[in-house]
Copies of this chain bind each other. A is one copy, B any other.
Amino acid sequence: MATPTLTSRFFDDVEIGERFDVGSADFIESEIIEFASKYDPQPMHMDPVWAATGPFQGLIASGWQTIGLTMRQIIQAKMFGSTMVLGLGVEDLRWPVVSRPGDRITVKVEVASKTPSKSKPDFGVIKTHVTATNQKGEIALSMTSILWVPRKPHR
C-alpha cells in the first residue's frame, strides 16, 4: 500500500478569510502539573491541594500550555500540507478565561492577511487569527499568529 503523499500548500494557495477547524484538545491534570513544573512553576498550576483553596478554587493550567495544546492541534491539522512554515511572532495574545483539568478546547484558525515579502521574493507573511474555545463556549485563548510561508515555485 502506497503512503499517501501530502499535498503542499503555499502562500499563493491560501485565501484571506479561509477558515480551518483544527480540532479539539483536552486538559489533563497530570499534564497540567508536568508542564507547569518544567515551564511555569507556580502553585496555582502545580499543587491541587493549595489550588483548591486558592483564588481560582482549583488547579488552573499555565496559559503557555493552552498555547501548546492549541499549537499541537494546528500543526497536526497541516493547514499548509507538507510545506514548512515558520512562526515569526504573535500579536494580541489573550487568555480571557482560565483553563482547568477536564476542559476541552476547540481550535479555529482564520487567515487574516497576506503580504508578499519585499526582500525575499520566495516568501510571504500570513497573519492568522487563532481562537481556542472551551466546552462552555468561552474563549480560552485568542491570538494573531504571524507566519513566514514559502511562495509557490514557478508561479
Total interface residues on A, CB under 8 Å, equals 30
Complex CA gap A39/B84 in Å reads: 16
Flag if B68 contacts A38 (CB, 8 Å).
yes
Q: In chain A between 57 and 80, which residues have their CB closer than 8 angstroms to a CB of chain B?
A: 62-65, 67-69, 71-72, 75-76
How many copies of this chain?
A: 2
Q: Which chain B residues border A88 with CB–CB below 8 Å?
A: 94-95
Q: In chain A between 17 and 54, which residues have their CB closer than 8 angstroms to a CB of chain B?
A: 31, 38-42, 44, 54
Q: Which chain B residues border A54 with CB–CB below 8 Å?
A: 84
Flag if B69 contacts A39 (CB, 8 Å).
yes
Flag if A84 contacts B55 (CB, 8 Å).
yes
Complex CA gap A90/B90 in Å reads: 8
Complex CA gap A91/B140 in Å reads: 17
- Smallest CB separation, A139 vs chain B (Å): 12
Flag if A42 contacts B75 (CB, 8 Å).
yes
Flag if A64 contacts B55 (CB, 8 Å).
no
Flag if A84 contacts B42 (CB, 8 Å).
yes
Partner of A75, one of B40, B65, B90, B92: B40
